[in-house]
Structure 1
Amino acid sequence: MNDRLTQEQLSKIVAEASRIADRQEMDRAQVEQVLIDLNLSPDLLDEAMVQLQRREALAVQRRRTTMIALTIALAIFAIMGYFAVDQWRYGRAIAQLSTVQDRLTFTDDDGGSLTQVNRQASPEIVYRVTLSNAPVDQRLSLSCQWEAPTGDILRENRYQTRRITTPTWNTYCRHQFGTASPGGTWTVRMQLGDRILSDETFEVR
């Protein structure tokens, strides 16, 4: 064997020797002797071992807590991202919502559209609206305002549709007229929030 070593070989030998030393274990007597060599009392060994075990356990617990917190944070971000995308899609679908037809009928629909209502007969009037580009698999929170000739809202219907199954969707609201209902030109409006989807005027006599 060549007794002369290059600098690179020396570095590798030192590194390997350090790894071997790290893998070696010492028994209690050896550790106590090291403490004596360091001018420390061997009685400190048990206390030091307890503290070491506590620190190691605390380090493991901190790593576990950090991983749990990171996992929860990632899950929250994923959920928030999902709902943000879902709300964006819903908003885009709502923006495309429109009305293709609206009619005023009695409870028994004959297919026509009323322009006049006789309040003496105390009829129930149904405002039927057909929506286009309705958001499939969603529900819409709608309202209907029945405005008297005075400009006062004498009735407001607020309701939620069933889960929409087709882009073309029929919905309706209703109002019961009576002899005390003011005569003149009435207006009914169907709204989605503050947005007016459709409106219709008719005469009450």
Structure 2
Amino acid sequence: MSTTVVVTPFGKAQQLAAACVLSNIQGTIVPIGDFTGIVLADTDVQAGNEAAAAISKLASKHEVLLLVRSEEQIDAGHYRHGTRESDVPAGLALKNLPDVLEQLLLEIVPAEEVEGNIPTSSMTKLQASAATMTPGRAAVARTALIWIVVAVLAGLITAFGVTVGLGGNTMAWVVAVFGAIVLVLSLWRISRVLTKGVKS
């Protein structure tokens, strides 16, 4: 077995934790200087490489650094877009990053004791989705929710108007028609809002 640390360009531990939860990558997120890493304990080298490849896809155009300690050796490499692009001298990588990285690799300090750590098991997928939502998408979601509420109310008004109108009440039919118009309008607005949200 080995200890694996993947160092990423994510600036906030919360962001990396959310991305890993949504990608089913289990571990403990830790701040590493200006970067953020995920510690995968008790994994083999292949699992570490697979995790680094998956995380590099999440990092878009940015590189991630994989460090795997197996027995007395440390393997290091850069990943981008899911592919290992190059090997990196482990000593050079450790020299240019905070000491906490080496301490984690050598298991001198457990990931759970690093200040600001976030176990991925502590975050639900719903929380992860919320954490990765941009302000623009959050605004779209709020707008869509308002129109959904309007649609539900309009549907109830329409149903009430039709039910009462069947008894011969003309005013109830007016209410039913009004409710139907609002319902159609709100459904159209929901469609527009969601389409705009997908494009953005």
TM-score (norm 1): 0.22
Greater helix percent: which structure? 2
TM-score (norm 2): 0.22
Larger Rg: 1
Answer 1 or 2: higher relative contact order, Cα 8 Å, separation at least 6: 2
Greater strand percent: which structure? 1
